[in-house]
Amino acid sequence: MDVPTGCGTALVTPFRQDGSLDEEALYALVQWQIDSGIDWLVACGTTAETPTLADDECMQVLRIVTEAAAGRVPVWAGCTHNATRQAVEKSKIAARVPGITAILSASPYYNKPTQQGQFEHFKAVAEAVELPVILYNIPSRTGVNLEPETALRLADAQQNIRGVKESSGHLAQITELVTRAPKGFRIYAGDDNMVLGVIGVGGAGLVSVASNEIPAQMAQMVRAALENDWAAARHLNRRYYPLIQANFLETSPGPVKAVLAMMGKIGEHYRLPMLPVTAGTRARLERLASELGLLAQCAERGADLRVS
């Protein structure tokens, strides 16, 4: 099975005011994403507040997303754990959910394993499933960098390791990966603000946070860059870059969930240790969303939009 190019959304997880999963809002969010032209979806990734989800809730999210997608776009399952045995087990269970097309797995967090430790960890995950596995390098969250040499060794060792979501923030490292990667091995930008640079050096696309709010616009921008229509790609990047940056004024997914709530897409509810954004951040986000026309058609949802 091939892995896609383009723009995929790292979905938020909507909650109700009592902290339970908001299945209806998640289903509607998936429908809107697909109708807007997004190329694939990531469920239970970092943006989904996955560390606060119980295992059965993760499976519930995967089932809702795949059922809503109904085969129209690929769906990746985020399967990360800092214990290899649990990462393997999560991946095996997720791979059995109908409609899951790939496993996205980040480096073990907190443990700070060596490069060889990361190699053995990811190799074990890939050996446990037949689906494509996408490595996820995000040192700001995990505390360790997955170096290009290790990623390339993994691609050589396991045929179903098919790409890497690169959130190191280092274009030189990403360029090395692109330059040395075997045919068919995809390098995806993991940071919205770096996608044009990553595609410029040969990357395959983006796993996006901002596309939760602006799926059509992010998909158009990434598609334009992949088609070498750099004038269109730069125009869209200039227009939406302030929002892209504002999504990280505070820890993600706080800002993006705040904007989605302003748009009437979800209720603005979190699970500790995540909290609502501060008043200053909220005002800035509301101003940006209004200037971009994102609030023009938002529906009132009354009490369900109150911050938990």
**Which residue ranges make up each domain of the chain?**
6-227
Is 70 exceeded by the pLDDT of residue 96? yes
Name the percent of the chain lying above pLDDT 90: 95
Q: How confident is the model at residue 1 (pLDDT cuts 50, 70, 90)?
A: low
Whole-number pLDDT of residue 223:
98
How large is the C-alpha radius of gyration of the chain?
18
Judged by DSSP in three states, 246 sits in: helix
The whole-number pLDDT of residue 297 equals 57
Residue 291 confidence (pLDDT): 97
pLDDT for 58 beyond 80: yes
> What residues contact 280, with CB distance under 8 A and at least 6 apart?
none
Grade residue 299 by pLDDT with cuts at 50, 70 and 90.
very low
Single-letter code of the amino acid located at 158: Q
Cα distances (angstroms) measured from residue 28 to each of 18, 79, 133:
20, 23, 27
pLDDT, tens only, 249-291: 999 999 999 999 999 999 999 999 999 999 999 999 999 999 9
Q: What is the mean pLDDT of residues 127-150?
A: 97
What pLDDT, on the 0 to 100 scale, is given for residue 59? 97
Q: Is 83 exposed, middle or buried (0-12, 13-18, 19+ CB in 10 A)?
A: exposed
Q: Running DSSP on this structure, what letter comes out for residue 206? A: E
CA 63 to CA 144: how far, in whole Å?
A: 31
User: Mean pLDDT over residues 124-139, rounded?
Assistant: 98
pLDDT value at position 298?
60
pLDDT for 2 equals: 80
Amino acid 170: pLDDT: 96
Residue pLDDT, tens place only, 208-254: 999 999 999 999 999 999 999 999 999 999 999 999 999 999 999 99
Phi, psi (degrees; rounded to nearest 5) at 75: -130, 120
- Which residues fall within 8 angstroms of residue 136, CB to CB, at 6 or more apart? 80, 104, 105, 106, 107, 164, 165, 167, 190
Fold for the domain defined by 6-227 = TIM Barrel (3.20.20)
pLDDT (average), residues 5-30: 98
Query: Which is nearest to 106 in space by CA: 87, 129, 90, 124?
Result: 87
For residues 270 and 49, is the Cβ–Cβ distance under 8 A? yes
Q: Are 79 and 90 in contact (CB under 8 A)?
A: yes
pLDDT one-digit tens code per residue, 97-130: 999 999 999 999 999 999 999 999 999 999 999 9
Please give the pLDDT value at position 139.
97
From residue 164, alpha-carbon distances to 107, 135, 189 in Å are 11, 4, 9
Enzyme catalytic residues: 136, 165
Which residue type sits at 52? Answer: T
Phi-psi region of 105 (alpha: psi -120 to 50; beta: other; left: phi over 0): beta
Q: How far is CA 251 from CA 49, 188, 285, in A?
A: 11, 22, 14
**pTM listed for this prediction:** 0.94
Amino acid symbol at 241: Y
Provide the Cα torsion 283, 252, 203, 186; round to 10°. Answer: -150
- DSSP sequence for 56-78: HHHHHHHHHHHHHHTTSS-EEEE
Mean pLDDT value across residues 40-54: 97
Task: Give yes or no for residue 36 having a pLDDT over 70.
Answer: yes
Q: Say if residue 18's pLDDT is above 80.
A: yes
Retrieve residue 188's tokens.
């995806």
Of residues 211, 230, 291, 247, the one with CA closest to residue 37: 211
